[in-house]
Structure formats: structure tokens, C-alpha cells
Chain A
Amino acid sequence: GAGVSQSPSNKVTEKGKDVELRCDPISGHTALYWYRQRLGQGLEFLIYFQGNSAPDKSGLPSDRFSAERTGESVSTLTIQRTQQEDSAVYLCASSRDSQGTQYFGPGTRLLVL
């Protein structure tokens, strides 16, 4: 079946604007992760969803960041009042369950001017 998809592929925004990033996981995958990858660096965990359980938000860097997931489907990551340091690639991954192999989407490249 289809892999993990993310939209938009690229987003350029002005400092102070809000942005919304979308992730469509693989059908049937109960676990979903968001990561941030700054240029030339590793991945930083942001948030984890597992089914209908409360998400693990411990990686969100500030209260400007929030994420939602409807059941076991689409997730959106929202960044309010964007700052230049938010510029990065935002990656989404899903897995069959919390212990499973993670499958990554292609990412959203965010540039805040």
C-alpha cells in the first residue's frame, strides 16, 4: 500500500505567521511520530501518538508547537508565531504499533524568513 505522505513538501513563511503541517500515516498503523531535523543534524523527537492514548508531548520545544491526531489517521503539527529557528525539515513516521519498525514520510521543508 501507500507509504507515509506529508504535505506540503516545502513551505516558506514569514516570521510570526502560523503554519500547519500534515501527515498521512500508513493505513492500520497505530503509532505516529513527529521529528525535526535541522540542517546537517540528527533527528529530534517532538511528539508520539499511540492509538487513543494520551500523546507523549515531551519533545515539543515550546508552547508554540502543538499537534493533533484524529484516531489512527491524519496528524497535523501546528507551529504558531513562527521564528527563524523553526526552519528545519519536519519528518513524520508511523509504525504498526509502539514497538514496530518506523516508516518515514518525505518530510516538509520549512523556511521561516
Chain B
Amino acid sequence: GIQVEQSPPDLILQEGANSTLRCNFSDSVNNLQWFHQNPWGQLINLFYIPSGTKQNGRLSATTVATERYSLLYISSSQTTDSGVYFCAAPTSGTYKYIFGTGTRLKVLA
């Protein structure tokens, strides 16, 4: 099945800084999603982005399906951005989503 790898595993930022999180996947995908898990454990969908670029406020994401990676950009980070960011993609031909191990982000005030 598909392998999903995320980097970096941990990231500490000062409030106001920008960052880029990366998600590599081993197979072609027709669906890729980014999620944020807040410190209380709630998972929120950020982007549904099988290809191209999307923006939502201070967050944007780009997926280059032909090169099998996706990037999540966080600009002007805030303490509320802290948590774990996951990307997930389904194994080809199924809806069995495989999650990466996540990037744990801490934004300092």
C-alpha cells in the first residue's frame, strides 16, 4: 500500500514566523487531505487537495501529484496554530486512508 511520510517531525516557531510542512507519498493519489489536530485532540480538515494550490486565510497548500508531494504553508503563525499536522492519502483503488506520522508544531508567544 501507499507510504506517507511527513517532515519535519517537530517544529518550534516564534509567533509571526512562516513555515513549510512537507508530505511525501509513494504512489499516485487521487485524493490528499491535510488535517490539524489541536492540543485537545480534535482533528480539523484543512484542505482537500489532490492537485494544485489552495489558500485559506494564512494557510495554503500545494500538491504536485506527478512528483508525489504536498506542501502546507503557514504564514504569520499564531499560538493557536500549535498542534499536530497530518496529511493522508488513500491506498490506490481503495478508500483506506493512510496517515503520515505528523508534524508537531509549537508556536511560542
Contact = CB atoms under 8 A, between A and B. Distances in A.
Interface stretch (B14-22, B65-73, B95-103): B95-103
B101 A42 contact: yes
Contacts, number: 51
A25 interface: no
Given A42-B86, A48-B96, A58-B96, A101 B33 contact: yes
Nearest to B42: A106
B60 interface: no
B88 interface: yes
B45 A89 contact: no
Interface residues of B, number: 21
A43 B88 contact: yes
Interface residues of A, number: 25
B33 A107 contact: no
Nearest to A93: B43
Contact of B43 (A45, A48, A91): A91
Given A43-B86, A101-B48, A56 B43 contact: no
Contacts of B98: 45
Interface of chain A: mostly helix, strand, loop or mixed? strand
A35 to B, nearest CB: 8
Nearest to A104: B43
Nearest to A58: B96
Most buried by B among A50, A100, A102: A102
A59 B97 CA distance: 10
Interface in B39-60: 41-45, 48
B31 A99 contact: yes
B105 to A, nearest CB: 15
Interface of B: 30-31, 33, 35, 41-45, 48, 86, 88, 94-102
